[in-house]
Amino acid sequence: MRIKPDQKLDYKTLKVWRIVAVFEWLFYLIVPIGYGFLAYYFFFPFWFLYVLIILVFITAFFKIIFIPKLQWQKWRYKIYDNEVELMYGVFIVRRVIVPMIRVQHVDTKQGPILRRYGLSTVTISTAATTHEIPGLEESKADDLRDHIAQLAREADPND
């Protein structure tokens, strides 16, 4: 039985995920606002507007407060000499192992919100897909990117 990865994401990642969730939630507000206009101009029942508003605020609680905290608590990673192990998910926890021999390139990326909090995301590309380790401190992300790239070069049998 393999032990669970022990490396956590930076705590500031939780703030970033909550900010992103607020922006997503603002999009949900379009539904009750749109229904409110329809109810006013086309005499739709107003009671349904109140139901929509309650649902939007319940969604806000879960998407902004509850889910990001669970995501941050579950997210783990570990870098070994021959593989990268990722563990993430809230209700369905995924454990992904990326062999170093399959790594084609490693990159860091940083959007405006991550940049504001001094965080970066490490992306690990294979022929099949791209895996991410989100929310690492910039210097740690750079070091991790370089370390994985070095391990991938050493694992390449063609060199």
Q: Return the bridge partners of 142, or none.
A: none
Mean pLDDT in residue range 121-140: 95
pLDDT at residue 159 greater than cutoff 70: no
Distance CA 60, CA 8 (A): 26
Distance CA 156, CA 109 (A): 24
Q: Return the bridge partners of 84, or none.
A: 79, 98
Taking the CA of residue 50 as centre, how many other CA atoms within 13 Å lie in the half-sphere pointing to its CB?
3
Q: Which residue has the higher pLDDT, 1 or 99?
A: 99
Q: What pLDDT does 154 receive?
A: 87
Distance CA 86, CA 20 (A): 22
What are φ and ψ of residue 131, in 5° steps? -110, 150
Taking the CA of residue 85 as centre, how many other CA atoms within 13 Å lie in the half-sphere pointing to its CB?
15
Query: Among positive and negative, which fits the CA dihedral 85, 88, 92, 98?
Result: negative
Radius of gyration of the chain (CA): 21
Q: Which helix (H) or strand (E) holds 134?
A: strand 130-137
- Per-residue pLDDT band at 17 (split at 50, 70, 90): very high
Mean pLDDT in residue range 85-97: 95
Q: In what order do the strands lie in the sheet with 105-109?
A: 105-109, 119-125, 130-137
pTM score, two decimals?
0.86
